[in-house]
Chains A and B, each alone.
Chain A
Amino acid sequence: MLRYIIKRLVNMVPLLIGISFVSFLVIHLAPGSPTSISLFNPKISLEAREKLNKLYGLDKPVHIQYFNWLKDILKFDFGYSLVDGRKVSSKILERLPVTLTINILSLLVIFFTAIPLGLYSGWKKGSFFDRFTTLFVFIGFATPSFWLALLSMQFLGVKLGWFPISGITSIDFEYFPWYKKALDFLWHISLPVLVASFGSLAGLSRYSREKFLEVLDKEYIRAAFAKGLPSSQIIYKHALKPVFLPVITILGLSVPGLLGGSVIFETIFSIPGMGRLFYEGVMMRDYPLIMGLLVIGAFLTLLGNFLADLAYTWADPRIKYSK
Chain B
Amino acid sequence: MKNFFFFIFSFLPYLVFPQDRGDAIIIGSIASPRVLIPILASDSASAEVCSFIFNGLLKYDKNLNLVGDLAQTWQTEEEGKVIIFHLRKGVLWHDGKEFSAYDVEFTYKKLIDPNTPTPYSGDFERIENLEILDRYTVKITYKEPFSPGLASWTMGIIPKHILEKEENLLSSKFSRNPIGTGPYKFKKWIAQEKIELVVNEDYFEKRPNIDRVIFRIIPDTATLFLEVLAQGVDSSGLTPLQFLKHSQAPQFKKNYIKFRYPSNSFLYLGYNLNNPLFKDKKVRQALNYAVNKEEIIKAVLLGEGKVSTGPFTPESWAYDPGFKPAEFSPEKAKTLLFEAGFKDEDGDGFLERKGEPFKFTIITNQGNLERQRVAEIIQAQLRNIGIKVEIKVVEWSVFIDEIIRKRKFETVLLGWSLSRDPDIYDIFHSSKTSPSDFNFVGYNNPEVDKLLVEARKTFDRQKRKQLYQRINRLIYEDQPYMFIYIPNSLSCLHQRFRGVKPAKGGYWYNFIDWWVPLKEQKYKIEFKG
Contact = CB atoms under 8 A, between A and B. Distances in A.
Given A84-B34, A85-B35, A31 B119 contact: no
A37 interface: yes
Given A150-B222, A267-B220, A84 B117 contact: no
A309 to B, nearest CB: 36
A274 to B, nearest CB: 11
A209 interface: no
A276 interface: yes
Contacts of A39: 42, 119
B222 A268 contact: yes
A43 interface: yes
Contacts of B230: 157-158, 161, 164-165
B401 A31 contact: yes
B190 to A, nearest CB: 7
B369 interface: no
Given A43-B119, A268-B223, A175 B525 contact: yes
A154 B226 contact: yes
Contacts of A86: 171, 176
A168 B193 contact: yes
Given A49-B436, A167-B193, A283 B396 contact: yes
A172 B436 contact: no
A283 B226 contact: no
A127 interface: no
A55 B527 CA distance: 42
B193 A169 contact: yes
Interface string A19-44: 00000000000111100111111111
Interface in A85-136: 85-86, 91, 94-95
Nearest to B152: A43
B43 interface: yes
Contacts of A277: 192
A52 interface: yes
B398 interface: yes
B345 to A, nearest CB: 38
A270 B223 contact: yes
A36 B188 CA distance: 30
A184 B426 CA distance: 51
B34 A45 contact: no
A1 interface: no
Q: How large is the interface on A (under 10, 10 to 19, 20 to 34, 35 or more residues)?
A: 35 or more
B115 A51 contact: yes
B405 interface: yes
Contact of A272 (B168, B171, B190): B190
Contact of B120 (A43, A157, A283): A43
A166 interface: yes
A64 interface: no
A39 B26 CA distance: 29
Nearest to A39: B119
Nearest to A90: B191
Nearest to B436: A46
B488 to A, nearest CB: 23
Interface in B413-458: 416, 419, 426-427, 434-438
B24 A171 contact: yes
Contacts of B65: none
Contacts of B527: 175
A296 interface: no
| B216, B227, B419 interface centre (most CB from chain A within 10 Å) | B227
A95 B426 CA distance: 40
B33 to A, nearest CB: 9
B395 interface: yes
A44 B214 CA distance: 30
A268 B220 CA distance: 5
A270 B219 contact: yes
Contacts of A283: 395-397
A215 interface: no
A141 to B, nearest CB: 23
A182 interface: no
Contacts of B194: 167, 171
B523 A32 contact: no
Given A46-B437, A55-B115, A40 B400 contact: yes
Nearest to A276: B192
Interface in B1-60: 24, 26, 34-35, 42-43
A33 B404 CA distance: 13
Contacts of B510: none
B39 to A, nearest CB: 12
A77 B168 CA distance: 18
B71 interface: no
Given A43-B419, A270-B218, A272-B190, A166 B400 contact: no
B229 A158 contact: yes
Interface of B: 24, 26, 34-35, 42-43, 114-115, 117-123, 125, 168, 170-172, 175-176, 188, 190-194, 214, 216-220, 222-223, 226-227, 229-230, 232, 251, 395-398, 400-402, 404-405, 416, 419, 426-427, 434-438, 523, 525, 527
15 contacts: A32-B395, A38-B43, A40-B404, A41-B42, A42-B438, A46-B434, A48-B118, A84-B176, A95-B192, A150-B223, A153-B223, A158-B226, A165-B232, A171-B24, A171-B523
Given A30-B398, A168-B193, A269-B223, 20 more contacts: A31-B397, A32-B398, A39-B119, A43-B426, A45-B122, A45-B125, A46-B436, A46-B437, A48-B118, A55-B117, A85-B170, A94-B191, A150-B226, A165-B227, A167-B232, A171-B216, A175-B527, A268-B222, A270-B223, A283-B397
Considering the complex of A and B, which 5 residue pairs feature the smallest CB-CB distances, nearest first?
A: A32-B397, A85-B171, A272-B192, A85-B170, A46-B436
Interface of A: 30-33, 36-49, 51-52, 55, 80, 83-86, 91, 94-95, 150, 153-154, 157-158, 161, 164-169, 171-172, 174-175, 267-270, 272, 276-277, 283-285
